Structure 1
C-alpha cells in the first residue's frame, strides 16, 4: 500500500520537511501537534491545561482530515517541557479527549522552546 499524505488547514502547517500525517498499511501516523493556532501560528494559552487542549484540538483536526477521531488512536507519544511540574495538569486535559480503553502512551520530558506540550499519535484506520 502506498503512503498517503494527510493535510488540513485546521491544524498548524508543518514547520519543516514533514507531513501533518501519513496513512500507510492501515494506520495513520501523525506528526507532533503543538498548542499553536492554525491560522496565526501563535501559542494558545499559558498553562499546561490550556496548551494541552489546543494541541489535542490540532491533533483531532489531523485525525478528522482522514475521517478518524480519538477513538481510533491506539498509541500516543507526549512531550512535556516540564514533566514533573505539568504531568497532572496535562493528564486532566488529555483525559477530556480520550475514552477507555485508553490509547497506549509514552510521556517524556523534552526541550520544546516556548511551548509546554507536543503530542503525536498512531491511529488504526477501520
Structure 2
C-alpha cells in the first residue's frame, strides 16, 4: 500500500490517511468542508461546503496522479435529503461529463455540524514504458 498526502487538501484530524493506493485503486477518505489551511467552514452555505469538500477530493486525486475521469465510485453523505439537488448541480459542474458510480446518503448529522462529506474510489492508470 502507498499513502497519498497533499497540502492542497485538509489534513487528517484523526488516525487515517487522506488516501491510500492499493492494487491499482485509490481510496480517498471522507472529505469534510475543511480548507487546506485547516479553516473550518461550518457556517458556510451548503454550496460553499460542497465546493470545499469536492476541491479537497480533487486535490487528493491529482496528488495521486489521477484526474476526475479516473473516479470509479463516489459516496456523498448529506445532512438532510433537501441538499441532494444542490449537491447534484455542484457535482456535475465540477466533474463535467464524467459520471462515476455514486451514492448520495442522507444522514441526520455529520461531524462538527457539517452538511456534506465525500469519499471516493478511483483507478490508478499506469503507463507501461
TM-score under structure 2 length normalisation:
0.89
**What does 1:22-61 correspond to in 2, within 5 Å?**
22-43=20-41, 46-61=44-59
**What does 1:1-16 correspond to in 2, within 5 Å?**
3-16=1-14
Give the Cα–Cα distance (whole angstroms) in 1 for the partners of residues 15 and 3 of structure 2: 13
Q: Quick check: which one's helix share is greater?
A: 2
Is this contact kept in 2: 1:71–1:99, CA < 8 A? no
SS at match of 1:97: helix
* 5+ residue gaps, structure 1: none
* 5+ residue gaps, structure 2: none
Give the Cα–Cα distance (whole angstroms) in 1 for the partners of residues 33 and 102 of structure 2: 19
Is this contact kept in 2: 1:35–1:51, CA < 8 A? yes
Is this contact kept in 1: 2:26–2:124, CA < 8 A? yes
Give the Cα–Cα distance (whole angstroms) in 1 for the partners of residues 43 and 49 of structure 2: 5
**What does 1:79-98 correspond to in 2, within 5 Å?**
79-83=77-81, 85-98=82-95
| Corresponding residue pairs, total | 123
Give the Cα–Cα distance (whole angstroms) in 2 for the partners of residues 87 and 29 of structure 1: 23
**Root mean square deviation of aligned Cα:** 1.4
**What does 1:104-119 correspond to in 2, within 5 Å?**
104-110=101-107, 111-112=109-110, 113-119=112-118
1:122 is aligned to: 121
